[in-house]
Amino acid sequence: MTEVSDVHGPVHTGTGDLYYMEAARGRGPRLTFIEELDWLWRRFVNPPGHGRASDILETCRTLLLDGAPGSGRIATAKVLLRELSSGTERFHELAWEEENGRYRLEPASVGDDDRVWLDLSRADERAWRCFQEELSSLRKMVVDHTALLVIVLPDKGREGLWPEFGRFHSRIGRPPAQEVLRRYLRLAGVPGAVSIPPPEFLRAERPVREIAKFADLVVSAYKNASEASCSAWYESAEGAYAGHGTGLAEAIKELRHGPQRALLLATAMLHNAHVDHIHNAAVGLLDVVGYADERHSLERADLVTSLGEIDAVLDDNGHVRFKELGYDAAVRALFWHHMPGLRDGIQRWVGKMIDDPSLPDNDRYQLAARFADQCLHPRYRQALVESVAEWTKGPMTYRRQMAADRALRRALTAEEHGMFFRKQIYNWARDAHLSESLAQVIIRMCTEVIAVTHPDQAVVRLHHRARRESRSTNARTALLEMVAGDPWLRRLLLVRLTRLPMNGREWPIDVELLIDLADPATFTAPGSRDRPLVAEAEVRAMLTEGWRRVFCECAEAAWQGRLRQWLITALHDDRHRDLLVDILIDGSEQRGEVLGRLYTEARSLSRSTADDRERSATFLNVVLRKICTAQGIQVS
């Protein structure tokens, strides 16, 4: 199967194998992911063993998916889950991460009818052993919630698998490479895709993600080339895939002067930008690296000649591009990876260009994303972290924020690096001294990117940020909006507010969040399988603890409105009346002032609904009887 760029967004051509698609503003993460998943499903080619894997998943609700690296295991996991769903279920990835020397899953990590996968392909022997110790508990959670779970085994496959889990194991092979390529090209509208003979590229055994990347290059060659020849498209794509190798290195050797090389890199970083912006960027690069060109402008070559020296051309609109497909990516990689003395200069230059008000926004975003691509290697990821932090220092500007936004989106959606940058956002979220500009960026990353496949992690990061906000309530607002329409996430936040240890630190905002969260309508609304949250004993216990803290730590003015809303729901909801009143009374811990206010509010409400005397009398009687019982007063 193929994991390739969606037509809605640019391709990530780094080392990761998950490609970028920006979540559209105003769209929920679930809808965004379902669209991505359906796009993937249409391009999927069943690998050998697919049928058996599907049977095990359907029968056992758990599948331990095995396969050689590069066989498309993650894509297969997603498609298997998609095939066994109606499209309304929640899809998300579980995170099995080490923290303080221990591996853990987020509490309440699986909800009703969820479709979840867990990638353990890079897990070492210790992590794999620790996971198997927890697998039975995880499976119970999956079965209890009628969910489905696919676990991608470590690269060593079945090695070390405990015998009791063998019945959940299934192995897939590689799908036919030519069929993968043809499927992608056909759906991309490349003429003759079904009959196109295999290219040289497929002579070697390739990871499925690399076939997808190659297919995308073929599509680009078809769209940009004048020749109507599949062999020409293949040749162009193969050159781009190989990075133009020795040819590029020799070309750069011929460019002996600083201004030539500066123009080459500026063209690569701002590929397809207007020639004026590329010229300004080249001049800026020379300045940043301290290159002094003493020649008068009358003595220098004109721009057309200079562009010809680097194999770039101007189109009719004055935009600059290289003649060969993928040449820009190859130039960027060569300067970054093979000229280490320039890295600091490139990093500072990119920051200056981002600040340039004359640079069009789209060029600025492309620059930030292309710089991020160069940093998507374990050795250079910290450079991107430092750059994002630097761009968001000082006064908040739209240009800097959006550049940081674009760079982090690219990093978070690169599968090999996503975990690292999610952890970095976790660290930033816990930083009490974080700049307001960076805080806004990470809030967007949580709601628009992380929430797509890791909604539980998005909630955790927003909660940490909300605890540390001092100049705004943006994280708090985003957190409450995220959980508002999702019972599973609402339950997860309730767990964090009432069950997790505080480690000696009190967060006043937590009790405010409890008041915000305690909307009775959301806890009594039918959830999955028509079961409201309040029907769960554990949820009732957490709500009771939440009200206890509210009554204990807040002034009456802070909770009176929510208490009245809770009682209004109890008055009109015959089915859940007793549960709602019990939660309030148990949470009061027999405090006389709280019980007195509760009764006063209940009596006021019963009088306001005098038109339905029977309902009002029943409601007030329930409240009074339960208050008396709590105080040890016998009711006749």
The predicted model gives 251-264 an average pLDDT of 90
Same domain, 272 and 336: yes
Domain boundary among 352, 374, 396: 374
Tell me which residue range forms the domain holding 576.
Answer: 511-636
Q: What is the 3-state secondary structure (H, E, C) of 220-235?
A: HHHHHCCCCCHHHHHH
Same domain, 118 and 72: yes
Q: Residues 258-270: pLDDT tens digits?
A: 999 999 999 999 9
> Residue 524 domain-assigned?
yes
Domain boundary among 157, 172, 187: 172
Of all residues in the chain, the percent with pLDDT exceeding 90 is 72
> Residue 2 domain-assigned?
no
Same domain, 573 and 629: yes
Answering whether pTM is above 0.85, one says yes
Instruction: Give 102's strand partners.
Output: 99
Q: Residues 380-407: pLDDT tens digits?
A: 999 999 999 999 998 778 999 999 999 9
| pLDDT of 10 above 50 | no
Domain boundary among 374, 406, 426: 374
Same domain, 336 and 297: yes
Q: What is the pLDDT at residue 297?
A: 57
Same domain, 516 and 636: yes
> Residue 381 domain-assigned?
no
How many separate domains does the chain show? 4
Q: Residues 77-98: pLDDT tens digits?
A: 999 999 999 878 889 999 887 7
The predicted model gives 59-73 an average pLDDT of 96
> Residue 254 domain-assigned?
yes
DSSP string, 449-506: IIHHH-HHHHHHHHHHHHHH-SS--HHHHHHHHHHHT-HHHHHHHHHHHHTS--TT--
Question: At 140, which CATH number?
Answer: 3.40.50
Q: Is 38 in contact with 30 (CB distance < 8 Å)?
A: no
Rounded Cα gap, residues 269 and 366, in angstroms: 8
Banded model confidence at residue 9, pLDDT cuts 50, 70, 90: very low
C-alpha Rg value of the chain to the nearest Å: 29
Distance of CA 5 to the CA centre of its chain: 16
> Residue 384 domain-assigned?
no
> Residue 392 domain-assigned?
no
Angle at CA of residue 336, ends 330 and 341, nearest 5°: 140
Same domain, 632 and 516: yes
Same domain, 266 and 310: yes
> Residue 604 domain-assigned?
yes
> Residue 505 domain-assigned?
no
Same domain, 155 and 193: no
Same domain, 137 and 220: no
Same domain, 168 and 182: no
Same domain, 77 and 129: yes
